[in-house]
């Protein structure tokens, strides 16, 4: 496949993704922050659903020989960096009300808080690059390679998919309960 076609497909997927995010209301920082306060759990429902649909689809496509999962990039796992980065990212998400993707989506419709959030993200990236020689050991610590969860658990990919779907169903049910428990109609009626 020529490279320009790869890039065109990436562009179209990106446009589709941004459109879907905006349509689902993920340009609103209050909706996103609602995930952590419990009054609006749309984020976890949408993203977890997307993950399990993609997982089921890719597993079936692999089974029927339509997709070679060996060619799909698997993130390399650094334990320390994942924990530290996850804490920083989680704190930033709650405080800022955006994650990188939704921040871009909100910025594209002119939200000022998203613009400030995004410039904060760029500042963080710049600081990471400039301080890399000092934090290199931390960043590269506890390297495990491109691990897949099912391989780490010693179960088949199919069984893992099924268990994840069950976990998702349980999570959605808990999310619905949380929304009733922590309802904030003064916010949810506005967004």
Partner 1 sequence: MNTRVKFMVGLIGLGLILALIPLPGRWSIQAKPQNLLSQALDEKTYFTVDQVAMFVVSEDSSVQLIDLRPQEEFRKANIPGSINIPYNELLNNDPGRFFNNGNTKNVFYSNGDFESNYAFILARGMNFKNTFVMKGGLNHWLKTVMNSSFTGDRISARENALFETRTRAGKLFTEINSLPDSLKLKFMEAKHSAAKKLDGGCE
Partner 2 sequence: MNLKRLFGMNLLKRYRVVIPVVLPIFILVLFRSIGPYHFKTDAKKQAEPSFLKTNIVSIGQTDYMPGNKLIINLDKGSGILDGTRNSVMGIPADSVLKKEYFRIIRNHEGPVLLYSSEPGTAARIWMVLSQMGCENIFILTNDPGNENPKHPPQ
Q: Cβ distance 57 to 50 under 8 Å?
A: no
How many whole angstroms separate alpha carbon 128 and alpha carbon 168?
A: 34
Q: Which of residues 88, 89, 151, 183 is near partner 1 by CB under 8 A?
A: 151
Q: Is 167 in the site for partner 1 (CB under 8 A)?
A: no
Instruction: Choose from partner 2, partner 1, none: what does 166 bind? Cβ within 5-8 Å by kind.
Output: partner 1
How many whole angstroms separate alpha carbon 93 and alpha carbon 103?
A: 10
∠ at Cα 174 (52, 158), nearest 5°?
25
- Only segment of 36-44, 58-66, 121-129, 177-185 that touches partner 1 (CB under 8 A): 58-66
**85 token code pair:** 């980065």
How far apart, in Å, are the Cα atoms of 157 and each of 73, 75, 77? 16, 17, 18
- Only segment of 5-13, 85-93, 129-137, 160-168 that touches partner 1 (CB under 8 A): 160-168
Closer CB to partner 2, 4 or 64, in the complex: 64
Q: Which of residues 5, 71, 122, 129 is near partner 1 by CB under 8 A?
A: 71
The contact set with partner 2 (CB under 8 A) reads 60, 63-65, 173
Instruction: Choose from partner 2, partner 1, none: what does 2 bind? Cβ within 5-8 Å by kind.
Output: none
Q: Cβ distance 142 to 136 under 8 Å?
A: no
Taking the complex as a whole, the smallest distance from the CB of residue 29 to partner 1 amounts, in Å, to 25
How far apart, in Å, are the Cα atoms of 28 and each of 32, 62, 96? 7, 37, 11
Q: Which residues bind partner 1 (CB under 8 A)?
A: 52-53, 56, 59-60, 62-63, 65, 68-71, 73-74, 145-146, 148, 151, 156-159, 161-162, 164-166, 168-169, 172
């Amino acid at each position: 496949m020529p490279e320009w076609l790869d890039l065109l497909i990436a562009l179209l997927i990106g446009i589709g993704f941004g459109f879907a995010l905006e349509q689902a209301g993920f340009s609103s920082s209050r909706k996103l922050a609602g995930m952590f306060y419990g009054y609006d759990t749309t984020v976890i429902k949408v993203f977890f659903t997307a993950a399990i649909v993609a997982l089921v689809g890719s597993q079936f496509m692999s089974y029927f020989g339509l997709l070679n999962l060996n060619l799909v990039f698997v993130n390399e796992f650094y334990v320390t960096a994942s924990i530290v980065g996850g804490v920083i990212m989680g704190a930033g998400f709650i405080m800022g009300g955006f994650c990188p993707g939704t921040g871009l989506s909100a910025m594209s419709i002119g939200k000022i808080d998203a613009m400030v959030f995004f410039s904060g993200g760029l500042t963080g990236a710049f600081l990471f690059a400039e301080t890399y020689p000092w934090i290199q050991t931390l960043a590269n610590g506890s390297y495990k390679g491109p691990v897949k969860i099912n391989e780490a658990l010693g179960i088949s990919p199919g069984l893992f998919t099924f268990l994840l779907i069950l976990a998702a169903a349980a999570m959605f049910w808990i999310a619905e309960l949380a929304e009733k428990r922590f309802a904030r109609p003064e916010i949810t009626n506005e967004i």
